Amino acid sequence: MDAMESTSRGWWRPSPGSVYPMLQQLTEEGLAKRRDADGKYEITPQGREEIEWPARMQHSGSRSVDSVIADLDSYIRLLEDLAYSKDTRLAENSGKIRELSERLSKLGATS
């Protein structure tokens, strides 16, 4: 996901919930394959022929409460993965995570 964000120069940060189903579909269609050596995915020659990169990528934000909640769920799953892997970025941002958690708790209490 970091590589995808970097490749798009920050215009697109995919969520885990969108990345893995997409990779599965691309693999099934023969457009991508998972490398045995490191487990990373790469585009196949067939994929290169079929994929057209837009000249200018546009950021599209969430437009409904349901899609915002789905995005939040994906981001929380990413943070949970980071916690499981003992990634130091999580500890470095624990105060901000706690603050966001408190804000979300207040929103949940208002419904």
Residue 39: which domain range? 2-50
Residue 55 falls within a domain, yes or no?
Answer: no
Instruction: Judge if 6 and 46 occupy the same domain.
Output: yes
Adjacent-strand bridge partners of 43:
32
Query: Which one, of 29, 35, 28, lies nearest residue 49 by Cα?
Result: 29
Kindly state the average pLDDT of the residues 9-35: 85
Residue 87 falls within a domain, yes or no?
Answer: yes
Distance between CA atoms of 73 and 9, rounded to whole angstroms?
Answer: 24
Contact partners, residue 75, CB within 8 Å, separation at least 6: 15
Find how far residue 92's CA is from the centre of its chain: 20
Percent of the chain with pLDDT over 70: 87
Measured over the CA atoms of residue 76, residue 77, residue 79 and residue 84, the dihedral's sign is positive
Q: What pLDDT is stored for residue 55 in this prediction?
A: 33
- pTM: predicted TM-score of the whole model, two decimal places: 0.43
Number of domains into which the chain is organized: 2
Q: What pLDDT is stored for residue 54 in this prediction?
A: 45
For 91, the 3-state DSSP assignment is: helix
Residue 56 falls within a domain, yes or no?
Answer: no
pLDDT band at residue 56 under the 50/70/90 scheme: very low
